[in-house]
Structure 1
Amino acid sequence: MKISDDFKLNVVSVRLVKEAPILSDIKISNPEAAVQVLGKYLCEMDREVLCVVNLKSDNTPINCTMASMGSLNQSIVSPREIFKASILSNAAHMLLIHNHPSGSLNPSKEDIEITDRLIKLTDLMEIPLLDHIIVGGDEAQYFSMREKGIMLHKRTVFEQDYNNLKFNDSAMVAEKEKSR
């Protein structure tokens, strides 16, 4: 097969671009520290904003990224956007913090569902999610999913022996049908 002379494959480069800092060197070892660093900033927002704080091994912040900016009472969260800066920053841990402009600290069903999904994904990515914190109203008020026991989960264990792996039976049946 001959490749057309007009064909060009673009080479892409991904780089971390640092913006004006909003964080300090305060270690984020508890929800109060996270709220101290970002609470006031997020409570000033008129729409939901979800931030990812990327942390070093000792929980010192590396950076913060706004992974989602939504509407008055919801935001769309994509794991792709959450992990982008964490991977580029070589984060050891990550923390989610978002605001509820209504002032209510109660997590929505969607907040809990995305947290559960992200716990599983962060386990796979080996960048543990330490907490998901909601701020609202007074910046000193917060809801920590870790403190409330919402983030309890079993660690994902992967099969070590390929002989024990179970594959999709329909694919195996289709392969057997082909070989007949």
Structure 2
Amino acid sequence: MEMNNDFKLDVVSVRLVKEAPIFSDVKITTPEIATWLIGKYLCEMDREVLCVVNLKSDNTPINCTMASVGSLNQSLVSPREIFKTSILSNAANMLLIHNHPSGSLNPSKEDIEITDRLIQLTDLMGIPLLDHIIVGGNNIEYFSMREKGLMFHKRERYEQDYNNLKFYGNESTLVAEKERTRR
């Protein structure tokens, strides 16, 4: 086969660029600590800002990124933006924190829905979402979705022995159904 010399394929590289840190090596083990470290910055914002805090396995922050800057009462959240720095930072865990400029700490329907969706995605990615915290008004008050019982990790375990699989359908559309158990 003859190679065409006109064909070119761009080679790209992705690098993590670090900016000035906003906090020290304080381990984030509670929503209070996260609120103390990051909430004071978010409470100064005049629009909704969603931050992703990437954590080492001992919950020491690696970095923090603003994944979304929205309007007065909403922000658009893209899983792509959420995971970008987590993957590049080799994060073991992640934490979401966002503000409500109105001062209300009550999560919106969208806040709860995106948290549920991100839990599913973080479980697949292997970078667990530890909490989603809402701050508002001042940096003392917060709403932790984990503390309020709104974070449900749905771990599924699949059959590991092919002899225990049950097959359905005809030969052309044979489907294996795996028995699922919840932990």
Per the TM superposition, whether the score is higher than 0.5 is yes
When residues 9 and 66 of structure 1 are mapped into structure 2, their CA distance, relative to the original with a 3 A threshold, is same
Once residues 76 and 121 of structure 1 are traced to their aligned partners in structure 2, the CA distance between those partners, rounded to angstroms, is 17
Q: Secondary structure of the equivalent of 1:141?
A: strand
Aligned residue for 2:33, secondary structure, equals helix
- Write the mapping of 1:15-164 to structure 2, written as runs, cut at 5 A: 15-161=15-161, 164=165
Q: How far apart, CA to CA, are the structure 2 residues paired with 1:165 and 1:116?
A: 30
TM normalised by structure 1 equals 0.87
- Gap change, CA 1:102 and 1:2, over 3 Å in 2: farther
| CA distance in structure 2 between the partners assigned to 1:60 and 1:49 by the alignment | 22
- How has the CA–CA distance of structure 1 residues 162 and 122 changed in structure 2, closer, same or farther, with 3 Å as cutoff? farther
Where does structure 1 lack aligned partners over 5 or more consecutive residues? 174-180
The structural deviation recorded for 1:151 is: 0.3
Partner in structure 2 of residue 14 of structure 1:
14
User: Structure 1: which 4+ aligned runs deviate by more than 6 Å?
Assistant: none
Q: Distance in 2 between matches of 1:161 and 1:10?
A: 44
Q: CA deviation at 1:154?
A: 2.5
Q: Secondary structure at the match of 2:32?
A: helix
Is the Cα contact below 8 Å between 1:23 and 1:64 reproduced in 2?
no
Distance of 2:52 and 2:158 partners within structure 1: 27
Structure 2: state its 5+ residue gaps: 174-183
**Alignment check: 8 A CA contact 1:52 1:82 kept:** yes
CA contact (8 A) 1:48 1:100 kept: yes
Distance between the aligned counterparts of 1:99 and 1:17, measured in 2? 25
Higher strand share: 2
Per-residue CA deviation, residues 100-123 of structure 1 (Å, 9 max, x unaligned), is: 111110101111001001111111
Question: Quick one: distance in 1 between partners of 2:12 and 2:158?
Answer: 32
Equivalent position amino acid for 1:85 in 2: T
Identity %: 79
| Cα deviation, residue 82, structure 1 | 0.6
After superposition, the CA RMSD in angstroms is 2.0
Letter aligned with residue 98 of structure 1: H
How far apart, CA to CA, are the structure 2 residues paired with 1:34 and 1:142? 10
Structure 1 residue 56 displacement after superposition: 0.8
> Relative to structure 1, is the Cα distance of residues 113 and 3 closer, same or farther in structure 2, using a 3 angstrom cutoff?
farther
For the 8 Å contact 2:119–2:152, the answer to whether it is kept is no
- The count of corresponding residues between Structure 1 and Structure 2 is 170
Return the TM-score normalized by structure 2: 0.86
> How far apart, CA to CA, are the structure 2 residues paired with 1:77 and 1:92?
21
Contact 2:101 2:137 in 1 (8 A): yes
The letter for the 1-side match of 2:160 is Q
